[in-house]
Amino acid sequence: MRVRILGIGMGPRHVTVEVADALRGCDYAVAVRKRDDDGLLALRRSVCDAFGVPLVTVADPERDRDDPADYPAAVADWHEARAVAFERVLVERGGTAAFLVWGDPSLYDSTLRIVERIAARGRTPVEYDVLPGISAPQILAARHGIVLHEVGRPVHVTPARRLREAVEAGQDNLVVMLGGRHGFEGLEDWTIWWGANLGTASEELVAGRLGDVRPDIDAARRRARDGAGWVMDTALLRRAS
């Protein structure tokens, strides 16, 4: 059993030469089928169609989204459920399977951990490798025509739910992923470069002083969700110098 974990950016235009070759060499791609984001599944299907690989979908296990106290444990339960669902497909079909990862497998994506779980469960031997893809912060920077940091300075990449603690710890240049509007309170004088559904037809961009452009971001986020049926936002936040 061979699994290839392939970063696909935000669709066929972001696929690299090595990922295209890998896709063509796979027997099928597997993807979860959620109840409420047919737009994302369609985008994934467009990648499979572009490189001639059939797409096998599995129903997504339920996940407790109510921010439980033990967040890592809740995530682990959900990873295990996904691992079981994918394992069934791999055992039934055999051959080489592609897992298509939005953006890049190295940032806020669970595919690698799920494939490790399938291997650890031991029902089927799994050999896997990973190829990188274009991630949302890179598209954000390209669209705004910016570098993610000032000359020679760091950039702190964080999920939105940890933005507050990073700012309190003194970070002054942050990429915020997985829901870019939490924790914006008190940052009115910071500069924001914001984007939603980056690299897709429903892409939205806003930049400026956060206190000034906050209503623009809210409106743009609604447009992205209305246009696509889903919304994923990413932002760079920089303290006023």
Binding site for its own copies (CB under 8 A): 7, 9, 12-18, 20, 71-72, 75-76, 104-109, 112-113, 128-135, 137-139, 141-143, 145-149, 151-159, 161-162, 166, 169-170
As measured in angstroms, the least distance from the Cβ of 222 to its own copies is 26
Q: Judged by CB, which is closer to its own copies: 120, or 169?
A: 169
Q: Judged by CB, which is closer to its own copies: 33, or 161?
A: 161
Q: Judged by CB, which is closer to its own copies: 122, or 215?
A: 122
107 DSSP assignment: S
As measured in angstroms, the least distance from the Cβ of 9 to its own copies is 7
As measured in angstroms, the least distance from the Cβ of 19 to its own copies is 9
Q: Judged by CB, which is closer to its own copies: 147, or 219?
A: 147
163 phi, psi to nearest 5 deg: -60, -45
Distance of CA 106 to the CA centre of its chain: 10
- N-to-C CA span, the chain: 53
Which residues lie closer than 8 Å to 15 by C-beta, 6 or more apart? Answer: 8, 9, 23, 47, 50, 51, 133
Which two tokens mark 98? 């592609």
As measured in angstroms, the least distance from the Cβ of 190 to its own copies is 17
Which residues lie closer than 8 Å to 103 by C-beta, 6 or more apart? Answer: 7, 9, 10, 109, 133, 134, 135, 136
Which two tokens mark 204? 């939205």
As measured in angstroms, the least distance from the Cβ of 169 to its own copies is 7
Q: Judged by CB, which is closer to its own copies: 63, or 113?
A: 113
